Chains A and B, each alone.
Chain A
Amino acid sequence: MASLIDLANPTRFMRLSAVLLPWLAAAAAVLLVVGFYLAWFSAPPDYQQGETVRILYVHVPAAWLAMMFYSMMALSALGTLVWRHPLADVAQKAAAPIGACFALICLVTGALWGKPMWGTYWVWDARLTSMLVLLLIYLGIIALWRVLDEPSRAGRAVAILTLIGFVNVPIIKFSVDWWNTLHQPASVFRMGGSTLDPSMLWPLLILAAGFTLFALALHMVSMRAEIMRRRVRTLTILEAERLDRLAAQGAPA
């Protein structure tokens, strides 16, 4: 807990993240290179899907990251509302575009996998539909950040919305599942069903770890940018006030 409170200090976060970032980026790069090498040259083609299975090596980590970033946003929202961490809404704001990008990647790669496998780019499958709804929620939150101009007030408003969305996501998943069985009872698609062979599991795990570290590094840079943006904002206001005062002093003389 002590470390969390330490981290909550923006100045200390800036110092710590500057030290941590190169290591994080390097680890992400190594894992991604190794993972891609394994996924492209060492993993065998699937006996059912053939070479198309290679799309899943980026599709599955993207799906996982889209959900992980939303959970992170919900946690930060709790931090904003309950503990009023000064860093929590910075973390929340920085996470939204990254999560949205991974949701988008998940949908695009899913569509490109679906065309050769299912014969169509899009089916209203429960999982695809839920991911699309998640992307919509991400876009709504990003839009809200963009119209709210005062950061401290905006943080709390967006936090409430993020939490409502977080409570809603499982309900949406449940209702979409229900809706799906209602409308297409016989066409439930399964990826493999059986357990993955280690020769396919390892590249997947390494790539998932690599993408996660890459996303966390981006998140950290984005948080640093946001902290600096707020400092720039405060300093600009202070400077304007001081210039104002000077002008007022200068005028009567």
Chain B
Amino acid sequence: MTSAAPAREVGSGRRLTAKRTRQLVGFFYALPTLVYVICFFIIPVILVAWMSAHGCKLLTCTIPNPGQLNLPDNYSSVSGNDLFWPAVFFTIEYTVLATVLLIGMGLGLALLVQKGGRWVSVLRTSFLVPGALGLATASLLFWGVYSGAIGPFNPLMDGLNSLGTQLGLVTQTSQISFLGSPNTALLSTTVLIVWKYAGFYMIILLVGLQAIPRDVYEAASIDGASRWQTFRFITLPLLRPSIALSMILCITGSLLAFDQFYVLTKGGPDNTTVTLVQLIYREAFIRQNLGTAAAVSIIVLVALFLLNALQFRGLRGNVAD
């Protein structure tokens, strides 16, 4: 990018040197990020791509000896994997659900706390606090709450059941099962995610809301706009860049969901909550086929790249508006 050519070769050497120096300073500012990106993104991606071409086995795969070349089998076998297509559909289903709920909740909370007031800062903080917890920790916390063995709901239901039986209201005892069926498992996990991340999206949207100039609202109120009209025709359009950014973060994050399902459902019941990243994990560390795991990783990476490029186009359009 920056050539190290001698700076003083033409007549107006002084100005050129100043320009070069500025470029050089800029380059050095960018250098840590460049090193980071090369070490932790470019090189790993090249290694993953290289693994995806070989029959690399977890316990024996090394750089000089990655196993035999296994192309295109590593890639073509992916669609034959019984769990692949269900995982694709489930990941999309979860992404749609999580994105709609998170952005909806985030926007709702942002509107709730956008004006100052005595309790508003307390509310803002309490909405944001769950976001400070690690995802695995939060998942474990919810796992404990949902658990039949150690959670609070079974004893509670036992109490209610015996009360109901004594009063003659129930004839058959019942229990709650949060993770027992495909739908409740998905919903229970989504509840955790909304609890944890709604505050984060609230902050992004709140910043967007506060960037909308006051006079636009004043002009609207002079024109006699109702609250709904103000929201629909002023707030929402001016908030579009923030919403687009939230969507990019949320969709990418949800498509790469792993921790919450790994801790809460382990892909169950009956393999109905297996996400794409869980599939990669299983292929790599349970079935010990690093080659096919790397192939799925590359497929997911390409899909994400295309999706993000598409979304950035949308975002750019909004900014241009």
- Real complex partners, A and B? no
